[in-house]
């Protein structure tokens, strides 16, 4: 179930999380496999899905 305030992850979301991870790390590094990587992967997956639909929908409408 989607809540009304849920939305897709964006590249900007991933960038903000990377900055937060770096800001909270004494060595100013992000965590490999951390939250930022997960959000970046979600944003990439969503963009690929949108591209796929933009190709598929016109084909199905014929």
Q: Could you write out the DSSP letters of every residue in the chain?
A: ---TT-----HHHHHHHHHHHHHTSTT----TTSHHHHHHHHHHHHHHHHHHHHHHHHHHT-
Q: What is the pLDDT of residue 8?
A: 78
Give which of 39, 34, 3, 8 is closest to 21, Cα–Cα: 34
**Is 2 domain-assigned?**
no
User: pLDDT tens across 2-54, in order?
Assistant: 667 777 777 788 888 888 888 888 887 777 788 878 888 888 888 888 888 88
Number of domains in the chain: 1
Domain around 56:
11-60
For the chain, give the longest Cα–Cα distance.
57
**Is 46 domain-assigned?**
yes
pLDDT reading at 1 higher than 80: no
**Is 6 domain-assigned?**
no
Q: How many CB atoms lie within 10 A of CB 35?
A: 14
**Is 4 domain-assigned?**
no
């Amino acid at each position: 179930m989607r809540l009304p305030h849920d939305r897709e992850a964006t590249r900007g979301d991933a960038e903000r999380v990377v900055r937060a991870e770096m800001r909270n790390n004494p060595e100013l590094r992000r965590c490999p496999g951390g939250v930022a990587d997960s959000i970046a992967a979600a944003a990439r997956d969503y963009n690929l899905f949108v591209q796929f639909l933009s190709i598929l929908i016109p084909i199905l409408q014929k």
